[in-house]
Structure 1
């Protein structure tokens, strides 16, 4: 692909980017179906804090690891085929989770929640798809817009508990399954790959091995594990956190979680666009500094609703800006023919960054004082400060030459 000018990429690129963002949103909704209902499951099934945390974290793990393979497959087959395949493959797990929840079976919820993680791999498709449509100077914008598909987590947090109240648990999952099927059908009919897309038919394992040898892969994976991992973890665990700390109902906790997710979604393209204008390093530094400060404030449990809302929305904004900044950095530095492979690994690191926090939060919860201080201190304050120091001291503001093509 000609990464300098991307001739012909302007034709239909806005429409395809918008459609890709929608595909991401509906798959993120499917991926996050368990989180908004976690407090309900915990109550109905008499789950411990650790069991509830494991239930929330399981789809995150699979969605993270699956991105490694999906990113490489996108290099080979293109975004259109992979968007269709993942949307269709997510339908059965969505229905199965609904059946398991209706049956009140914790083991089945874990098993089917594992496969629900398929929907979370969608992110590794969209970054190379968007990159192929846009010239290098606008890839921060493009990846930021696609990343706004994270709004699916906000939609799930807000609407899923309400849908359950209105239509019932199983019917809610049927609605999402139908939405996935319709989305796949629209992609079949109208979605197109960029004219600049060139399939990379090299075997997957060597491609991944080569991508793992690149410095950009490890550096961006570390940063993305913190900013995107923090977003994923709180988008899934915040309903439990809010209900535990502040005593809100599942519906009210979902509404507040939706506000958190929406703030991050709005901030992501801003982070990407800023990174088209200034070096992404400075965008990421601001994100990490803000994340550390707001997480530290959250330790003291600001009173509801104004102060707690301001704290977590500000935290979401800093995390969202960081996700946009990191992937704008990836788009600048990753070899053009291996963007999918690098993206898959970096995206997997972000997902893994979201897997462990719910487990740590559940394990470190202090039931006597009713706080998560240790978890917040370890997960966001300490890690954000370490990443801040690493980025400031070790990474260049001005981009070096791209890593050699692999």
Structure 2
């Protein structure tokens, strides 16, 4: 039996827990930022690949979406493994595996082989699993009433997608295609080393009794709350990931932007969502995750329909895209602020990994749908954007069925 006291397990009075909170949260967020940059390095260069290999819209969408698929599916076992081995080990392992894969993408991308590049992008998807590591890692460092803050701040690591969209095309222009991939690979490897040397797992995590991974995953799938939050997160985070990866292609096809100009605007979109995410987590702690999620989904549905009609002037569609990013960011923070409330404490890491996987899968399919429903005659994505609005409305209705969504978590009541 563990000797950890209830106070220590809850994190309410343990000085060691409080002392390590901010440092480990910042390091985990930086690790996520670097991992997300590597994970989304293909998207900003999609136009380059499409021109070099003469890809159509569907092939480009498959290429862009491939890392998202793997990064999503493998979040489930990675989340469970984080419960067992801790975030320090898992961050180090995943980033250590990612660094050489970035180099592989750089080499294969010069061969102009669509099949080889898709295969390399498939394996690169492992970088996206850093999210499933950070949620239980950061959550374990914070008290129950501050878990929304912790997961919201960690979620700001999504800024790696903005960094990728903004810097990757510029680095390619400045130091070359292969030089860019070498630079990113070195950064990822250095971050893996930093994680091993400086990260520390929470005393709460250390006090856990390790459990077999597969039974934990199986049990998590039997819980209704797992499926409810999966659907909600698949819409809000999936839409964010889809736009962050596919927006350069969208802006090229609809408005004729080149890679650098499209990357700059995509970076702005991602940055707005990143800024909003911790705000969503904080608001979830204060007013309840349901209110935050409902506001997010309502705004997303309305704005998706506005975008579907393709406003012709950037002074119109630019702010609309930024507002959509803000609403999606609020939703990602709000939904993950719900996990610590609605999920059993012993299953937070596993369920968090499953929900993170659902979010990633939510980002995998939209680019494929956008590519398949794209109308080249009038450069229209009306069908895909209408589907987004419809799923946002369905999710809004579903949010009223999830427990512990109010201002006070029922488990905190006397």
Band of TM-score, shorter chain? over 0.9
8 Å contact 1:72–1:340 — kept in the other structure? yes
Aligned residues: 401
Trace 1:74-93 onto structure 2 (pairs within 5 A).
Answer: 74-93=82-101
- 1:158 aligns with 166
1:393 Cα deviation (Å)?
5.7
Q: Say which of 3, 12, 17 aligns to 1:5.
A: 12
Q: Distance in 2 between matches of 1:227 and 1:202?
A: 31
Q: Distance in 1 between matches of 2:77 and 2:91?
A: 14
Q: Distance in 2 between matches of 1:6 and 1:178?
A: 40
Q: Distance in 2 between matches of 1:98 and 1:306?
A: 36
Deviation digits for residues 136-183 of structure 1, max 9, x if unmatched? 111100000000000000000000011111111111111111001111
Q: Say which of 249, 252, 256 aligns to 1:247.
A: 256
Q: Aligned with 1:368: secondary structure?
A: coil
Q: Aligned with 1:137: secondary structure?
A: helix
Q: Aligned with 1:367: secondary structure?
A: coil
8 Å contact 1:281–1:395 — kept in the other structure? no
In structure 1, list runs of 5 or more residues that go unmatched.
none
TM-score by length of 2: 0.94
**Does 2:354 align with 1:345?**
yes
TM-score by length of 1: 0.96
- 2:3 aligns with none
Closer, same or farther: CA 200–365 of 1 in aligned 2, 3 Å? farther
Trace 1:178-189 onto structure 2 (pairs within 5 A).
Answer: 178-189=186-197
Q: Aligned with 1:90: secondary structure?
A: helix
- 2:273 aligns with 264
Where has structure 1 moved over 6 Å in runs of 4 or more?
none
Closer, same or farther: CA 159–382 of 1 in aligned 2, 3 Å? same
**Does 2:291 align with 1:282?**
yes
Q: Distance in 2 between matches of 1:29 and 1:200?
A: 34
Closer, same or farther: CA 228–103 of 1 in aligned 2, 3 Å? same
Q: Say which of 97, 107, 123 aligns to 1:115.
A: 123
Deviation digits for residues 69-115 of structure 1, max 9, x if unmatched? 00000000001110101100101211111111112221111000000
- 121-130 or 7-16, larger mean C-alpha shift: 7-16
In structure 2, list runs of 5 or more residues that go unmatched.
1-7
The CA RMSD over aligned residues, in Å, is: 1.4
Q: Say which of 382, 386, 394 aligns to 1:386.
A: 394
1:213 Cα deviation (Å)?
1.2
- 2:369 aligns with 360
8 Å contact 2:342–2:403 — kept in the other structure? no
Q: Aligned with 2:200: secondary structure?
A: coil
Q: Say which of 21, 25, 28 aligns to 2:33.
A: 25
Q: Aligned with 1:11: secondary structure?
A: helix
- 302-311 or 204-213, larger mean C-alpha shift: 302-311
8 Å contact 1:6–1:134 — kept in the other structure? no
Closer, same or farther: CA 397–73 of 1 in aligned 2, 3 Å? closer
1:283 Cα deviation (Å)?
0.4
Q: Distance in 2 between matches of 1:150 and 1:307?
A: 25
Q: Distance in 1 between matches of 2:291 and 2:22?
A: 28
8 Å contact 2:229–2:335 — kept in the other structure? yes
**Does 2:23 align with 1:15?**
yes
8 Å contact 1:6–1:196 — kept in the other structure? no
**Does 2:135 align with 1:135?**
no
